[in-house]
Structure 1
Amino acid sequence: MKKQVATIISIVLIILIAVFALMNLERVSVSFGFTSVRMPLVLLILICLLIGALIIFLFSSTQSVKKNRRYRALENQSQQKQDELRDQIDQLTTHLKSLETRLKNSYGKQELGTKDQQISDLEAEITKLTDKLSSQK
């Protein structure tokens, strides 16, 4: 929608400039400091218009180039941050897996420790019972 409005406004301005230029057909003298030239006023108006359009184009294109460079720099920074975050996620995942393994091993060791304790208790009880048996004989 904005482009359509801009196009319509541009066409209207071009028509107004053309009408203004056609109303000024007499020849004028233009001094450049080192030389002087006589040309139709309409030609002088059109040349000045083209020079102004060229200057505006150059300024807008330099701004566009700056914006594109900034955009690419930000895009690269974003990609680097994403890569860093992926690396951190991978490291955390690896660390989580190792912690899970340690927890499983720790749980198994606790079970073994509990069973070893039960075996020790049973052996002690067997020893007591054996001692009782030998003392009763």
Structure 2
Amino acid sequence: MKMQWTLIAGLVFALLTGIFAVINVDSVQVNLLFNTVQIPLILLILGCTLIGGIIVGSYGIFRQYRLQRENKQLKLRIIELENSTSSYSSPDSYTTTEPFGATETDSIAQTDSIQSGRKGNSADTL
């Protein structure tokens, strides 16, 4: 949808520029630093609009190229990181935080005492 509005705005701008150029058909004197030239104002307006469009288009193409290159580098970096993390984290390498020899009931009792201690109750009384 944004592209359609951009196209419509460009066409409106081109139409207004064309109307403005057709209205101004008088000949004007243009100083080119080394020479002075008489050209119709319509050619000057259209020429400057064309040069401006080329400059803006070139900048847009350059920016798009730079963003595509950066996107490609970031995708390669993601693949590299995924490969490095998959080699370090195999299912066999998971470790638990429980001490050696602790049972499940010990960890449940410890969790209960911590929770009751937070409530203001001592661990011995319920």
What TM-score bracket applies, with the shorter chain setting the length?
0.5 to 0.7
Q: Which residue of 2 aligns with 1:22?
A: 22
CA RMSD of aligned residues (A): 1.6
Q: Which residue of 2 aligns with 1:114?
A: none
- Aligned positions of 1:55-94 closer than 5 A: 55-89=55-89, 92-93=90-91
Distance 2:6 2:23 in 1: 26
Helix, strand or coil for the counterpart of 1:46?
A: helix
Q: Which has the larger radius of gyration?
A: 1
Report deviation, 1:43: 0.4
Q: Which runs of 5+ in 1 are unaligned?
A: 97-137
Distance 2:4 2:63 in 1: 23
Report deviation, 1:93: 4.2
Helix, strand or coil for the counterpart of 1:25?
A: coil
Report deviation, 1:58: 1.7
TM-score w.r.t. structure 2 length? 0.68
Report deviation, 1:88: 2.0
Report deviation, 1:53: 0.7
1:38 aligns with 2:38: yes
Distance 1:95 1:36 in 2: 81
1:51 aligns with 2:51: yes
Distance 1:61 1:13 in 2: 21
TM-score w.r.t. structure 1 length? 0.63
Alignment size in residue pairs: 94
Q: Which residue of 2 aligns with 1:117?
A: none
Distance 2:84 2:8 in 1: 49
